[in-house]
Amino acid sequence: MSTGSISRTPICKLNDRELPYLYIKRDDLIPYCFGGNKARKAQLFFEEIDNGDYDTVVTYGSSHSNHCRIVANMAAARNMDCILISPTEVSDNTYNSIMMDLFGAKLITVPVNEVHDTIENTIAKLKDKGHKPYFIPGGGHGNIGTRAYVQCFDEILDYEKENDIKFDYIFFASGTGTTHAGLVCGQLIHKTCHNIIGISIARKNPRGRDVVLESIYDYLNESKISYDPEDVQNKTVFIDDYTGDGYGADSEMISQIIQKSLISYGVALDSTYTGKAFSGMLDYVKKNKLENKRILFIHTGGTPLFFDDLNKWRRK
Ligand SMILES: *Cc1c(COP(=O)(O)O)cnc(C)c1O
C-alpha cells in the first residue's frame, strides 16, 4: 500500500497582537500518523524501499522519536519487519513508543555508545539469514531527508507567488540537520534572500552548524549544483541559545509558551522541538526588533510529544 504523495501543507496566518505578520506552515498536518517532518522525509525513503525488494527496515531513535513512530507505521502498513535500535538512556514510555509497539516494531535497546556497532551487526546478521534490510539513518538523515525539505522550500515559494507575499524570516526547530539543510539548499537553488534561522533544540555550535553544513554540501555535490562556499556559510544560521537541557528539556517558560500557543492559536507545540523553537523565535524576534517583519514558523510536528507534555499537567 502506498502512502500517496504529500500534497502541499497549509500556511496560515496566526492572529498575534505583537507580531502582525506571523505565519505558520503546518507540516504537523501531513496526513500520515500525526505528520511532521519525519513523515515528509520517510515518504521519500519509502519510495526507494518500494522500488527495491527489501523485506526489513532498520532505523535508530529513542523512545521519544517521531521518526521511529512514522517508520514503524509505514513498515507495518507494508507488512515489512521493522527493527528499531534505541538508546537505553532515553527509553521511558511515551505515546510514540506505545505506537511503535502497536506497529509490531522489534526494539533493540543498547547503551548509546554501542548503537553504531549494534546497527552494523544487526544488518550483517539479517543479510546472513537471507533478508534484504534497508537502513534509514536516525532522524531520516542523508540526502533523501534533505531533498524532502528542498521540496518544502518549493512549497513556500509557490505560496509566496500565489499570495503575493515574501517572507523575510523562516524559523524552525533544527535537530539532526536535514530539515535545515534542505531549506538552505532550496534557497541556494532558487537564489532567494530569506533569512533562514534554525533554532537548535540540542546541539551546540560549532558542531551543530557543521553537521548542517555537511548535509548541505553532500546534497549540492550529489545534485551537481554549483555554489560559492562563502555564500553557503553566510546562509547557514544555527542559533544555539535556546537548547535548555537538550532533548526533553521542559523549562517553565516553554510550558507557558505551549499553553499560550494552544489557547491563542489552537496550535499544539511540544517541549522537545516546536515549543523550544517557537519560544526561541519569539526571543530572537524581540532581541533583533523584527516585530514588523514577515515571519514564517515551520511546525515540524511531534504532536504525540505534545500529549506527553499534556499528561504532566493532568489534574491530580
Ligand atoms: C526531528 C524533529 C525536528 C528536527 O528535525 P531535523 O531534520 O532532525 O533537524 C524538529 N521537529 C520535530 C517535531 C522533530 O521530530
Q: For 158-172, write each residue's pLDDT tens digit.
A: 999 999 999 999 999
Specify burial of residue 149 (Cβ count, 10 A radius: 0-12, 13-18, 19+): buried
pLDDT for the residue 9? 98
Which structural domain range is residue 52 located in?
39-140
Give percent of the chain above pLDDT 70: 96
Cβ atoms < 10 Å from Cβ of 155: 19
- The strand pairing partners of 12, in sequence order, are 24
Residue 303 domain flag: yes
Q: Which of 83, 118, 140 is the last residue of a domain?
A: 140
Q: Is 200 in the pocket of ligand 1 (CB under 6 A)?
A: no
Q: Is 138 in the pocket of ligand 1 (CB under 6 A)?
A: no
- With the most atoms of ligand 1 within 8 angstroms of its CB, the residue from 67, 68, 209, 300 to mutate is 300
Specify burial of residue 154 (Cβ count, 10 A radius: 0-12, 13-18, 19+): middle
Residue 22 domain flag: yes
Q: Is pLDDT above 80 for 6?
A: no
Residue 5: which pLDDT band, with cuts at 50, 70 and 90?
low
Give percent of the chain above pLDDT 90: 93
150 and 270, same structural domain? yes
**Local structure of residue 89 (DSSP, 8 states):** G
Sequence-separated (6 or more) residues with CB below 8 Å from residue 212: 174, 177, 180, 181, 184, 198, 236, 238
Cβ atoms < 10 Å from Cβ of 218: 17
161 and 88, same structural domain? no
Mean pLDDT for all residues in the chain = 95
pLDDT for the residue 3? 40
Cell of 247: 532533548
Q: Is pLDDT above 70 for 146?
A: yes
Q: Is 87 in the pocket of ligand 1 (CB under 6 A)?
A: no
26 and 46, same structural domain? no
Which CATH number belongs to the domain containing residue 266 in this structure?
Answer: 3.40.50.1100
Of all protein residues, the one whose alpha carbon is nearest to atom 7 of ligand 1 is: 179
205 and 135, same structural domain? no
pLDDT for the residue 64? 97
pLDDT for the residue 301? 98
What is the CA(272)–ligand 1 centre distance, in A? 9
Q: Is pLDDT above 70 for 245?
A: no
Q: What is the mean pLDDT of residues 242-254?
A: 73
Q: Is pLDDT above 90 for 247?
A: no
pLDDT tens string 186-213: 999 999 999 999 999 999 999 999 999 9
What is the CA(173)–ligand 1 centre distance, in A? 6
pLDDT for the residue 7? 77
**Residues 235, 204: Cα–Cα separation, whole Å:** 18
183 and 248, same structural domain? yes
Q: What is the mean pLDDT of residues 244-272?
A: 86
274 and 160, same structural domain? yes
> How many structural domains are present in the chain?
2
**Cβ atoms of residues 280 and 14 within 8 Å:** no
- Higher local confidence (pLDDT), 313 or 43: 43
Q: Which of 113, 140, 167 is the last residue of a domain?
A: 140
Q: Is 182 in the pocket of ligand 1 (CB under 6 A)?
A: no
Cβ atoms < 10 Å from Cβ of 189: 16
| Closest C-alpha to 197, from 186, 183, 211, 210 | 183
- Higher local confidence (pLDDT), 220 or 250: 220
pLDDT for the residue 4? 46
Cβ atoms < 10 Å from Cβ of 313: 9
DSSP string for 220-268? HHHTT----HHHHHHH-EEE-TT-TTSTT---HHHHHHHHHHHHHH---
pLDDT for the residue 71? 98
**Residues 211, 202: Cα–Cα separation, whole Å:** 13
Q: Is 208 in the pocket of ligand 1 (CB under 6 A)?
A: no
- Range of lowest pLDDT (46-55, 144-153, 244-253): 244-253
pLDDT tens string 64-118: 999 999 999 999 999 999 999 999 999 999 999 999 999 999 999 999 999 999 9
What is the CA(176)–ligand 1 centre distance, in A? 7
